[in-house]
Amino acid sequence: MKIATWNVNSIRTRLMQVVDWLQANPVDVLCLQETKVVDADFPRSPLENLGYHLYVSGQKSYNGVAILSRTPVEDISIGFAPVLGADVVGDLDEQKRVITGIVGNVRIVNLYVPNGSAVGSDKYHYKLRWLKVLREYLKTLLEKQPHELCVCGDFNIAPDHRDIHDPKGRDEHIMASPAERQALQDVLTVGLADAFRKFTAEAGHFTWWDYRTRAFSRDRGWRIDHHYLTPNLYNQAISCTIDKAPRQLEQPSDHTPVIVEF
DNA sequence: ATGGCAGTTCCTAACTGA
């Protein structure tokens, strides 16, 4: 089983790149982030014609997540509220960042973690609050059901210095500040481990490159897209790879796909 | 130190992203 994650930065702009990529890489599940489209306008047919079932949660202009699966997905749920209750979640489900469902014996959680804008900003505090609720959400999911978890998506956090092209002076940089990294580590204490680091310990493997300053051609990137797995699934993982090919195309997303295989 | 690039909408300016 192969599960991929890809922040496409608008599914309508990137549709043909996603179609081409799925034809070349017929993964079992593809989790998309930043679809940037309301559900009624999601371009379903070209993806359904490839044999995928689609489950989407989007909004106008910003955010938006989707799960594409070769087999029907069971027990789809959208946002934090179905698991935690509306009173706990408050305003956090207004932005469409969470979709989950079960494929085989695996519960897949597809996330678009808030960017945070700048350290100390209102959006930064929103990001930290969101990550706290995410921890409770995953903990509750695990308590309610015995499934293995694959929690994947755009986390907008580089876990450590190996995950940034130039780690110098990054403590005050969004996606690398100590509070964000600690919030991510707190999430993982529910019992999750980074699939990529099972296979690759060295620095210099990235999933996102800034559109500006020719960052991709200079390989000035960050590893911010991840798969986090519960222990049994982690043990069953046989590879986790970054496919840089889509980032090299004309008019690419600034992120590129990551694939885990069991 | 600054801004740089891209997508979207309230569409030719402002916002969000990371």
Q: What domains can be seen in chain A, in order of their start residue?
A: 2-261 (3.60.10.10)
**Is A254's CB less than 7 Å from nucleic acid strand B?**
yes
Determine the pLDDT at residue A83.
Answer: 97
pLDDT digits (tens, 9 = 90+) for A105-149: 999 999 999 999 999 999 999 999 999 999 999 999 999 988 899
Residue from A52, A55, A93, A112 carrying the catalytic annotation = A112
Q: CA of A69 and C1' of B9: distance in angstroms? A: 31
Question: Is residue A154 annotated as a catalytic residue, yes or no?
Answer: yes
Q: How far apart are CA A92 and CA A128, in angstroms?
A: 12
**Is A9's CB less than 7 Å from nucleic acid strand B?**
yes
Q: How far apart are CA A206 and CA A128, in angstroms?
A: 23
In this prediction the pTM is 0.97
pLDDT band at A171 (very low <50, low <70, confident <90, very high): confident
Nucleotides of B under 7 A from a protein CB: 3-9, 16-18
Long-range contacts formed by A162-165: CB under 8 A, 24+ apart? A162/A201, A162/A202, A162/A203, A162/A204, A162/A205, A162/A223, A163/A203, A163/A205, A163/A206, A163/A222, A163/A223, A163/A224, A164/A222, A164/A223, A165/A204, A165/A206, A165/A219, A165/A220, A165/A221, A165/A222
Task: Indicate the pairing of strand A239-242 with strand A208-209.
Answer: unpaired
State what percent of residues in chain A have pLDDT above 90. 96
Q: Which comes out higher in pLDDT, residue A27 or A147?
A: A27
pLDDT band at A181 (very low <50, low <70, confident <90, very high): very high
pLDDT averaged over every residue in chain A: 96
Residues 167-186 of A, Cβ under 7 A from nucleic strand B: 174-175
